[in-house]
Amino acid sequence: METTIKINKGGRPKKRAIRRQLLAAMCTPLEKTLIEINAKRACMTVLEFLRELGLKGRVKIKVKTLPKIVLELTGTLNHMAANINQLARKRNSGEELNALERATLNKAVRDLQGLVTDIKTYVQ
């Protein structure tokens, strides 16, 4: 009895069903524009949108927008994280922080505390 060993070569996984059939539909320029707008609103390509609509009769719209305050918070946190990372990298390499870097670190801590307060206020 022989044993076969499968070796995973890596790379992109094989698709279960390969789409080889072409389906075309004629439409007016206005209809094409409306379909493209609706597909974009659903965060899909036109092909994905039409396939979903044809197979399921409806399309689930994926909402990816966040409130402005959440986007601002994310941006602020990313900026502060970058500053703290730079300071930590310098400190871990054995260098001492100068007065400006210590002040930047202290400001980052105060900003974080302010963000925590803002988040608590927003949630309440």
**Residue-range domain boundaries for the chain:** 25-64, 68-123
| CA contacts within 13 A on the Cβ side of 13 | 3
- Determine the pLDDT at residue 37: 93
| pTM greater than 0.85 (yes/no) | no
Q: What does the alpha-carbon distance between residue 5 and residue 21 come to, in Å, rounded to a whole number?
A: 35
Can you give the pLDDT at residue 49?
92
46-63 pLDDT per residue, tens: 999 999 999 998 888 766
Q: Which of 10-14, 16-20, 37-41, 107-111 has the lowest mean pLDDT?
A: 10-14
The residues, ordered by sequence, that sit 6+ positions from 97 with a Cβ below 8 Å of its Cβ are 87, 90, 91, 105
N residues, the chain: 124
Which residues lie closer than 8 Å to 6 by C-beta, 6 or more apart? none
pLDDT tens digits for range 56-82 = 988 887 666 677 877 788 788 888 888
39's tokens:
């597909």
